[in-house]
Amino acid sequence: MSLTGKQAAKKRFMDFLGTRNLRLTSQRQAIIDTVFNTDKHFTAEQLLEWSRERDQSVSRATVYRTLPLLTESGLVREMDFGKDYKFYDPNYADHPNHNHIICQDCDKIVEFESDKIAKIEERISHKLGFTVKTQRLQITATCEELKRMGTCKKKAC
Ligand SMILES: [Zn+2]
Ligand SMILES: [Zn+2]
């Protein structure tokens, strides 16, 4: 997502908080700044770690209270890859239809978009009498390192 896209998304989230009469504490500000300054997918624990680099006082509780607000606002999407933890994606505001491939070991995530896949999904839906509203494809796979070494040294989380 472009930087201006991120800034726009951040502003929309601030407006969303305003409609909920939620106070913008410095902890929450640090979390929001973190989320809207990355295009990486993150877990709650990663968000906590990154936010603490901005503001040491950010607590785990505030991160866990802020995440549902982010997903409710529609600007951050929760993703379940069948792991013990969820991932959060800050890139949907600009790219609502992108897909993901994830390494089953190190959790490396790569995004991709494909007109071909979109067309196939449209064709199938049409055949079944449906109209596509949203689509997302999640592929769990083995990354290059996992294939070569049998394990990934660097876990993304
Ligand atoms: Zn993504
Ligand atoms: Zn891997």
pLDDT value, residue 95: 83
**Contact call for residues 56 and 50 (beta carbons, < 8 A):** no
Q: Give the architecture (CATH level 2) of 99-149.
A: 2-Layer Sandwich (3.30)
* Alpha-carbon separation of residue 6 from 52, 75, 76, 86, 127 (angstroms): 20, 10, 11, 22, 37
CA torsion 122→128→130→134, rounded to 10°? -40
Rounded to the nearest angstrom, the distance between the alpha carbon of 150 and the centre of ligand 2 is 9
Three-state SS at 8: helix
pLDDT at 29: 96
**CA 136 / ligand 1 centre spacing (Å):** 10
pLDDT in 10s for each residue of the chain, 157 residues = 566 788 899 999 999 999 998 888 999 999 999 999 999 999 999 999 999 999 999 999 999 999 999 999 999 999 999 999 999 999 988 888 899 999 999 999 999 999 999 899 999 999 999 999 888 899 999 999 999 999 998 776 5
Out of 3.40.190.10, 3.40.50.300, 3.60.9.10, 1.10.10.10, the CATH code matching 3-89 is 1.10.10.10
Which ligand neighbours the alpha carbon of 110 most closely?
1
Ranges of each domain in the chain: 3-89, 99-149
In this structure, which residues have their CB less than 5 angstroms from ion ligand 2?
Answer: 103, 105-106, 143, 146, 152
Q: Looking at the CA of 105, which ligand is closest? A: 2
CA 90 to centroid of ligand 1, rounded, Å: 7
